[in-house]
Amino acid sequence: MVDAAQDTPGYNLVTIGEHKINIRPAVKEDLPNVVALDDRTTGLRKPDYWDDLFTRFGNRKDLRFFLIAEEGDTLLGCIFGEVRSWEFNSVPCGWVGTVSVEPNLRMGGIGSVLYKEICRCFRKAGVTKIRTMIPRDATDLMSFFRAQGMMAGPFIQLETDMEEGA
């Protein structure tokens, strides 16, 4: 399914069926399409969020990665993640912040291609473990990451409502 067209992690040309899908780091001009994709996916329009995220992720090629998948000029999906190591006793790992694919193209392999490509970026950055955190009820997303081989890790997310004065 995947033909590595370029050796540089973050760049790839992938064939899925008859579709030639280009993977590359996001550029500023992609943001309107990314915002629209997010809107179609989540029902929330968040241009400021994506602009901020691009500022933090899009310009950092070493530890932060914001990749998009496109066919021709059409955005099909995106993924971002970073190398982080701030959790308790956590060695550096690749952390996937989000992955998003055009709703009517899901389960077609685009998300997997994006995931594999960001893994290549993480490996180049020197990490061998990849993590993410998703809501328990985000079934599709959870199934997607499970299908990539992810299992429950050694961390459990905890939270509480802060009491008055805490």
Partner 1 sequence: MMSLQKATLFALYAVLELAEDTDRQLSASEIAERYNISTNHLAKVLRDLGRAGLVESVRGAGGGYRFCGNAKRTTLLDVVQLFEEVGTGPSSGIVQETNAGAALSQVMDEIEEITYATLLSISIDTMLKLMRKRRPEKPTSTGLFRAV
Applying CB under 8 A, the span of 40-48, 52-60, 82-90, 143-151 interacting with partner 1 comes to 143-151
Among 44, 73, 136, 162, interactor with partner 1 by CB under 8 A: 136
Pairing of strands 130-131, 19-25: unpaired
50 or 145: CB nearest partner 1: 145
8 or 139: CB nearest partner 1: 139
Does residue 1 interact with partner 1 by CB under 8 A? no
For residue 148 the two structure tokens come to 């990539």
Does residue 27 interact with partner 1 by CB under 8 A? no
Q: Which residues pair with 55 in a beta bridge?
A: none
149 or 165: CB nearest partner 1: 149
For 125-149, b/e burial (b = at least 16 CB within 10 A) is bebeebbbebeeeeeebeebbeebe
Complete DSSP assignment for 47-108: HHHHHHHIIIIIT--SSEEEEEEEETTEEEEEEEEEEE--STTPPPEEEEEEEEE-GGGTTS
Does residue 160 interact with partner 1 by CB under 8 A? no
| Interaction residues for partner 1, span 48-107 (CB under 8 A) | 107
Among 7, 18, 29, 137, interactor with partner 1 by CB under 8 A: 137
* Cα dihedral 9, 119, 75, 66 sign: negative
Measure the CA angle with vertex 136, ends 49 and 112; round to 5°: 70
Does residue 128 interact with partner 1 by CB under 8 A? no
36 or 107: CB nearest partner 1: 107
89 or 157: CB nearest partner 1: 157
**Interface residues toward partner 1, by CB under 8 A:** 107, 136-137, 139, 142-143, 146-147, 149, 152
